[in-house]
Amino acid sequence: MLVGGGKRMKVGVLALQGDFIEHQAMLGRLGVETVQVRLPQELEGLDALIIPGGESTTIGKLAEAFGLIEPLRQFGQQRPVWGTCAGAIFLSKDARRQQPLLGIMDIMVVRNAFGRQVNSFEIDLDMPFLPSSNGHSTPFHAVFIRAPLIESVSGNAQALATLPDGRIVAARQGRLLATSFHPELTGDDRFHRYFLELAK
Ligand code: GLN
């Protein structure tokens, strides 16, 4: 996939903890150059960044230890950032408990909102904003693993996808995206393509 000027797109994946390899594999299949980000200088020259799922307290503490909190906040003011699951928590302004957060998205999240690991589930959800090849968009298979819920959006953030009962599981704020679920664990690349469009 190309950015302006015919240059190949280069996307970072925060690689402190969690399922960054799965995001990298999906991006690789889309023809995107990927970079594992563990240090502030590795953000240089990236067109966008993905923060993977994992354990948000661990990701936050490691980000603090590596001096990444401020550089990530600055990156998010200029370029697209997408957080999946723990990554969405890390992007939020409020996770209802004390833990290091970037706080760059006007969303409030509730961690482990669906219960324990055994209560993980998968569900097909309508996401009409996703690219479609045949004129109408098929439902997206959403994988929830000890997932957070986006309890509320405020300011410039908007709900992007909900469960059938209306609870929010994806939000967008300009070029920032948060999803409670894990598109990188499916074979469906539409969410990644949607994100990459924001970076073009
Ligand atoms: N339960 C994790 C947390 O609260 C998130 C789980 C995930 O990323 N799949 O940080």
**Tens digit of pLDDT for each residue in 52-102?**
999 999 999 999 999 999 999 999 999 999 999 999 999 999 999 999 999
Alpha helices in 30-183 (DSSP H): 56-65, 69-78, 86-91
Report how far ligand 1's centroid is from the alpha carbon of 181 (Å).
10
Q: Atom 5 of ligand 1 has which residue's CA nearest to it?
A: 86
192 carries an active-site annotation: no
DSSP assignments along 86-117, one per residue: HHHHHHEEE-SS-S-----EEEEEETTTT-SG
pTM of the model: 0.95
- Please check whether residue 20 is in contact with residue 13, taking contact to mean a CB–CB distance below 8 angstroms: yes
What phi and psi, each to the nearest 5 degrees, are found at residue 68? -100, -10
Q: For 120-169, write each residue's pLDDT tens digit.
A: 999 999 999 998 766 667 999 999 999 999 999 999 999 999 999 999 99
Domains, the chain: 4-199 (3.40.50.880)
- Catalytic site includes residue 184: yes
